[in-house]
Amino acid sequence: MKYLLLLAAAISACGAENVLTPSEQAESWRLLFDGRTMNNWRDPAKFSPPGDSWVIEDGCLKTRLKPRIAEDLVTTESFGDFELKFDWRISPRGNTGVKYRIQKTVFLDSRMPREGGFEGMVARALAGPAVDRAKLDPDARGDVYVIGFECQLIDDSGHRDARTPSHTTGALYSMIAPTLHTAHPAGEWNQGRIVVRGDHFEHWINGVKVAEGSLLSEAVRAGAAKRWGRYPQVMELFTKPKPRGPISLQHHGDEVWFRNIKIRVFD
């Protein structure tokens, strides 16, 4: 046992990725990504038709550009109270996020009516009969949309969406803006951390707490209403959320990388 602990410490000291340190093991951390496989994640390649949004490359989970089916990478397990930490890197003008307490997932077909824009498509897919992914025409494209709370990760200086404070890195997306901006420039690695206990959340970027609050607050309700107010079936998912749900890494059409994804649960 002593030899194994010394070996783990040596590996950590050498900067190995996707491994738990002895102290993390003692604190009940778990790896969500081993650097080699899709274990702990719903592998899009195993769906029908298979997804093509994510690959494993150089010990990272990486998005693929212009996939036929754009979709987040979602954990196989649901979580209630937890602490999640991860490394992330984004391409210039890139946009992504980590979603948690996921409430629903809907499949969108590119042939669907587009009244009401993207939000209208999501609401119709949620309210009506489920769109069958397996019946997607060969010449059609798909989008799997995840409804949940999001820790925004974005190129703050290069992406136009970051002109809105509640859309900058570390925000509870579209709801609560970060109080500080501590992300490194696009192309550099960052460390993210999300802590959720009950309805309280904290978002940390590079060791600094940049946002916190209640998932049941008026700010969350107002942010949800601004985007989803016309669609009560979606609004209710944010105003009366289930206390548990999966976690996802967002595919927003840009190149992003994730590694060292670790979690410990409190419930």
Read off the CATH number of the domain in which 144 is found.
2.60.120.560
Per-residue pLDDT, 3:
43
Specify whether 14 is located in the same domain as 102.
no
Backbone φ, ψ for residue 140 (5° rounding): -100, 160
Specify whether 63 is located in the same domain as 185.
yes
- How does DSSP assign 30-65, residue by residue? EES--SS--TTB--GGGSSSPP-SEEEETTEEEE-S
Long-range contacts of 203-208 (CB under 8 A, 24+ apart): 203/151, 203/170, 203/171, 203/172, 203/178, 204/170, 205/169, 205/170, 205/178, 206/182, 207/182, 208/180, 208/182
Per-residue pLDDT, 250:
98
Specify whether 15 is located in the same domain as 96.
no
Residue 10 is part of which domain span? 1-29
Specify whether 17 is located in the same domain as 96.
no
**256 vs 253: CA distance, rounded Å:** 9
Specify whether 9 is located in the same domain as 92.
no
Per-residue pLDDT, 15:
59
The residue type at 259: R
**Overall residue count recorded for the chain in this entry:** 267
Per-residue CA distances from 256 to 91, 93, 134, 181, 248 (Å):
6, 11, 27, 19, 13
The burial class, CB within 10 Å (0-12 / 13-18 / 19+), for 28 is: exposed
Task: Give the chain's domain count.
Answer: 2
Per-residue pLDDT, 9:
43
Taking a C-beta distance cutoff of 8 angstroms, is the pair 37, 45 a contact?
A: no
Specify whether 88 is located in the same domain as 11.
no
What SS3 state is found at 235? helix
Specify whether 3 is located in the same domain as 49.
no
Specify whether 124 is located in the same domain as 235.
yes
Question: What does the block give as tokens for 127?
Answer: 């309210």
Per-residue pLDDT, 7:
42
Residue carrying structure tokens 């200086």: 157
Q: What pTM did the predictor assign? A: 0.93
Specify whether 150 is located in the same domain as 205.
yes
Specify whether 74 is located in the same domain as 5.
no
Positions in the chain whose pLDDT score sits under 70: 1-15
Per-residue pLDDT, 144:
97
Specify whether 19 is located in the same domain as 50.
no
Specify whether 19 is located in the same domain as 85.
no
